[in-house]
C-alpha cells in the first residue's frame, strides 16, 4: 500500500489515478482529519461482494465446506447446470 500526502496527490493526480485503476494499487492519503484509502472500482466492488457473501450465514458455510472438498470430488464447471 502506498502512502501519499494531499499535496503530492494533487501534484500527481492523473498518474496516481491511472496506477490505482490499472495496477489495483491501494493508496492511503494522509489527512489531519483522518486518513483516506483510495482503491480501484474493481477492488471496491470485489470487497463489497466479499463482505456481502460473508454476511449471509448459509453462503459463508457453503464456501467453507467447498474449500474443504477435495478437487477430485468437484464437478468441472462445464458440467454444471446453471
Q: Which three cell numbers stand for residue 35?
A: 486518513
Q: Which CATH architecture has domain 2-38?
A: 3-Layer(aba) Sandwich (3.40)
Task: Say how far apart CA 37 and CA 29 lie, in whole Å.
Answer: 6
Contacts of 61 (CB under 8 A, 6+ apart): none
Find out whether 24 and 43 touch, Cβ atoms under 8 Å: yes
CATH 3.40.1620 intervals, the chain:
2-38
Indicate whether 82 pLDDT > 80: no
pLDDT, position 73: 83
Segment 8-49, tens digit of pLDDT: 999 999 999 999 999 999 999 999 999 999 999 999 999 999
Task: Say how far apart CA 64 and CA 56 lie, in whole Å.
Answer: 12
Amino acid at each position: 500500500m502506498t502512502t501519499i500526502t494531499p499535496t503530492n496527490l494533487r501534484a500527481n493526480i492523473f498518474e496516481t489515478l491511472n496506477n490505482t485503476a490499472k495496477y489495483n494499487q491501494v493508496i492511503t492519503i494522509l489527512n489531519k482529519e483522518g486518513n483516506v484509502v483510495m482503491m480501484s472500482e474493481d477492488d471496491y466492488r470485489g470487497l463489497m461482494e466479499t463482505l456481502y457473501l460473508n454476511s449471509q450465514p448459509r453462503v459463508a458455510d457453503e464456501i467453507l465446506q467447498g474449500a474443504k472438498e477435495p478437487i477430485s470430488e468437484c464437478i468441472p464447471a462445464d458440467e454444471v447446470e446453471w
